[in-house]
A and B are shown apart, each in its own frame.
Chain A
Amino acid sequence: MSGYPIDRIAVTKEAGASPLLQRAIAAWPGAEVEQAQAAPEGDGLAMAADPVAQGKRTLVLVKNRGRFIRKCPGTMGLICCNYWVIDLVEGCAIDCSYCVLQGYLTDRRIRLAVNFDDMERELDTELAATDGPIRLGTGELSDSLMFDHELGISSMLIAMVRQRPRVTLELKTKTVNIDSILDTKPVENVVIAWSLNAPAIAYGEERGAASIEQRIQAASRAVAAGWKVAFHFDPLVIHDEWEAGYRQTAALLAEAVDPARVEWISLGALRFHPSMKDVIRRRFGAEGILKGEFALCPNKMRYAKPLRRRLFSTVKNALQEALPGAPLYLCMEGAEMWKAVFGALPQAMPRNAPMKRLFA
């Protein structure tokens, strides 16, 4: 079991017949089970001193009436890595100080959509309308594997993409909950990805996540079992002795994982909507993740450009030294940053450049 506590399970009438409800009840036998309204009902957490933390203890099972799959819209002026997002779960049991969900969702509970059939149909529609490959992930508004030992969502997703080779499914996590995945035969178009960081950031800013050593060990087990893996150094954070911290993580990764088995490594610098500042200060203090020189660009706070340039170059160099040949790319950055860090835009890179296929 993952150990993430759930005190309350709310279920809408339409979701009541889902096997996921029985699994949830079995996984959290002490949780109160109640009926939820079908329409958005608000999270009822107004009186909580910390509604964000409180919301993480309620699981809501619903039928998703909207879209499941959407292309990541990207941001104007930034280079897009052609990612698709599955909105299957909204909300997360982990509590990262920089998490966008703290300010983004009005319902702070964890909402899981149970109508997988609809999602599958939607995926087929998207595939029919698209020629190229689709790189798809569930880790946008949640952690893909946080409840995998309890609910086994990954196996349902893996079954969905197994028959659809044009889709690459990425399961992105900060946990080590891969036991049920490792119980099955590796699937060519599934990648298990870990978000990594400097150990101090993982320790201080990612409450409830596995340590960096544990994540890397899990990745090593996945590779040994024949699964494809990827890593996201995101968000890169400037903190005391950050260069050493990121080098340490790169070195740990290199010890445990053969770079030839790494599908991709993304680098993204800390960014947040300006309105998040207050939430972060209130929940985590002003001296942690918010330390640093930020500038508004264009609608998010990011480290000032020269700092970001140094951050990316340092981490890129550390990773290239430790894991030669592993495909690296920048997340949510513009052309000038690509040129400064990699010397070229992904499209202009030699055909055999490792990250090339992601930007085709």
Chain B
Amino acid sequence: MNLLAGARAMEARPVTLADIIPDPRFHCSFPHDISALDASVARRGVINPVWLIPSDGKYDLICGFRRYRAATKAAQEKMPALILEGADEYTLLLMQAEENSHTRGLNLLEKAMLIRSAHASFGKTPEQVIDTLFPAIGLERSMVMYNAISQVAEYGPYTQALVASSGMGAKQAAVLAQFEKEERELAAEWITDHRLGLNQCVQAFEALLDIRVNQGLSASEVMDEMEKAAAQNWDATRRTDVIFNTLIKKSKPALASMEYDFDDAVAALTLPPQVRIRPPKNFEGRHIELTIRADRAESMSAAIAALGKVERGGLEKLFKWI
């Protein structure tokens, strides 16, 4: 489909920033980091023209919100623009969506905002959105997907920022729908504060949900408890590690209790520090792993000698867990 059929694009020409009005219906940018763009625009100005439509003697911004923001921040007076005439406005939305999707990729929140805009500002039905916008932004035709993504536009600011900055996909974000708005916001703020990566972020939401479902504790109760698990004077990385691991253990109490018991049994063996004994993952499987970590032959030989003295009964205890 030629989205621009019927539209006339003039030559790119400089337009005064003061004459450009960002049209919120077309705004979908939710970048997590535009510092590179800011620096480039500050240094060399905007290179690729933004897209505008004439509006009461001024221009509405259709495509290029991030460039516009960077140019404004760099206090530039003008930026290059293509002035489009004659295309209907929904076509322009599709065009800018496709352009952004191809050039920089859209995050999940941006896709959600586009869906909301198509629906709320252009009166499109879900079916029409799926038929027109979805192919423009690389989504498969699916009402399930429509429902899953569009709800992200209704989330609170912390959750939205987390979705955008973590790079969550629709499948990963599905767990968010299981929380009440307020609880989801609190959790998103907490997870953002702890700077968890994408996988950890999803695991943390999953753990909070499991704890609520299985133990009846709200996310805020759990977060308070987790904060107490790490001393305030620890550095941020250590605190986050401890908090995250404690959270995962809390969500899996049966496995955690097995792990504690197993660790106790290993500790009772009084092994040399070079030796590590680990159960199979999740205690599934039939093998216990023993590793010796040594940087010198003497150290390894000492560890092997020490292992020879370990009581068989103590070792046998370990196997009762698997």
Contact = CB atoms under 8 A, between A and B. Distances in A.
B286 A286 contact: no
A298 interface: yes
Contact of B174 (A278, A306, A335): A278
A278 B172 CA distance: 9
Contacts of B252: 293, 295, 304
Interface residues of A, number: 29
B47 interface: no
Contacts of A297: 281-282, 284-285
A287 B213 CA distance: 6
A132 interface: no
B214 A296 contact: no
Main SS at interface, chain A: loop
A290 B286 contact: no
B283 A48 contact: no
Nearest to A298: B284
B255 interface: yes
Interface in B276-322: 281-286, 322
Interface stretch (B59-67, B89-97, B139-147, B225-233): B139-147
Contacts of B254: 293, 304-307
B209 interface: yes
Contacts of A287: 213
A287 B142 CA distance: 26
Contact of A77 (B214, B285, B322): B285
A335 B281 CA distance: 16
Contacts of B142: 46
B241 interface: no
Identify which of B127, B130, B148, B209 gathers the most chain A CB atoms within 10 Å of its CB: B209
A334 B283 CA distance: 12
Interface string B225-256: 00000000000000000000000000111110
B178 interface: yes
B214 A293 contact: yes
B140 A282 contact: no
B209 A305 contact: no
B209 A286 contact: yes
A258 interface: no
Contacts of B178: 281, 286
A121 interface: no
Identify which of A278, A296, A297, A298 gathers the most chain B CB atoms within 10 Å of its CB: A278
Interface in A55-96: 77
A304 B213 contact: no
Interface string B151-184: 0000000000000000000010011011000000
Nearest to B147: A49
B209 A51 contact: no
Interface in A291-333: 291-293, 295-298, 302, 304-307
A291 B213 contact: yes
Contacts of B222: none
Contacts of A46: 130, 140-143
A49 B148 CA distance: 11
Contacts of B286: 334-336
Contacts of A335: 286
B265 interface: no
A76 B280 CA distance: 15
A295 B255 CA distance: 9
Nearest to A51: B144
A298 B177 CA distance: 27
A238 to B, nearest CB: 10
Interface string A238-251: 00000000000000
B282 A296 contact: yes
B258 interface: yes
B99 to A, nearest CB: 25
Nearest to A238: B214
A49 B177 CA distance: 16
B30 to A, nearest CB: 23
A305 B171 contact: no
Contacts of A348: none
B249 to A, nearest CB: 11
A77 B284 CA distance: 10
A290 B210 CA distance: 9
B213 A47 contact: no
Contacts of B177: 281
Contacts of A302: 284
Contacts of A307: 254
Contact of B282 (A275, A278, A281, A304): A304
Contacts of A278: 171, 174-175
A305 B283 contact: yes
Given A287-B213, A336-B286, A293 B130 contact: no
A140 B130 CA distance: 34
B253 A47 contact: no
A297 to B, nearest CB: 4
Interface in A220-276: 275
A302 B178 CA distance: 21
14 contacts: A47-B127, A47-B143, A51-B143, A291-B213, A293-B210, A293-B253, A295-B252, A297-B281, A304-B255, A304-B258, A306-B283, A334-B285, A335-B286, A336-B286
Those 7 A-B pairs whose CB atoms lie nearest each other, nearest first: A297-B284, A295-B282, A278-B174, A304-B254, A46-B141, A305-B283, A304-B255
Interface of B: 127, 130, 140-144, 147-148, 171, 174-175, 177-178, 209-210, 213-214, 251-255, 258, 281-286, 322
Interface of A: 46-51, 77, 275, 278, 281-282, 286-287, 290-293, 295-298, 302, 304-307, 334-336
